[in-house]
Structure formats: structure tokens, C-alpha cells
Structure 1
């Protein structure tokens, strides 16, 4: 899944979201842009996990990935 952080999300909020995802068994990939940070979470997504992440401070939205895809190498 892809987590889009709010433009005003703090570094602490981003770290907290990443930590929660890692605790749930996800591999986390951060992409920090000029305006926003995007977190890619690779792992087994459940609706409960998605709902939890959506409520974390600093999260703007969660975009589920329906089909598995190969990461570019």
C-alpha cells in the first residue's frame, strides 16, 4: 500500500507511521519530496491495518495496491 503523508507532517509523525508498519511486518520505503513524503509499504495488507494507518497523525490518505507488482531493480 502507499501512504501519502500530509504536507505538514513532521519527521516524528513520519517515523511513527514507518515504525507501526514495520511492527505489522511491512517493508517500508520512504520517498521524500519537496511538498510531501510518500511511504511505500510492502507486505500483507488487511483492512484492519489500513484502517489503523489512516487514523495515525500526519497521514493524508492510504492507497491500497490491489495487484502484486515487481519492484524495479
Structure 2
């Protein structure tokens, strides 16, 4: 249980930095002419950025917790 408490801080920092990076990149993309021209019809590219990042983060989180639990046994 103590490992989970320690890893929670690490994971929270990692996820915060990841979403900050995605937010900054997404904001910069939204300022381009390409995005302004296709903004109404092209939300697919926005979701293509967020959905894989979320799925990968959850997968890495579970893998990290599993490896920590196995190390303590």
C-alpha cells in the first residue's frame, strides 16, 4: 500500500505534465491557419491526439503499478 501512495504522486505529476504538453501543442495547432480553415469539420485530428495519449497513459500506469507490486513480493 505504501508503494501505491508513493507511485500516486509520480503518476499524478506525469499525467499533469503530459496533459500540459498536449494542451500547449493543441493550443499551438489551433492558432495555425490550417486549423482555422478546417476547425468546423476536422475534430478527428483533435481526438486523434487526445485519445491515444489517454489510452497509452492508462496502460503505462497499470504496467507501472503491476511492476511495483511484483517487486515488493
> What's the TM-score once normalised by structure 2's chain length?
0.33
Structure with a larger share of its residues in strand: 1
Higher RCO (Cα < 8 Å, 6 or more apart): 2
Structure of larger gyration radius: 2
Q: Name the one with the larger helix percent.
A: 2
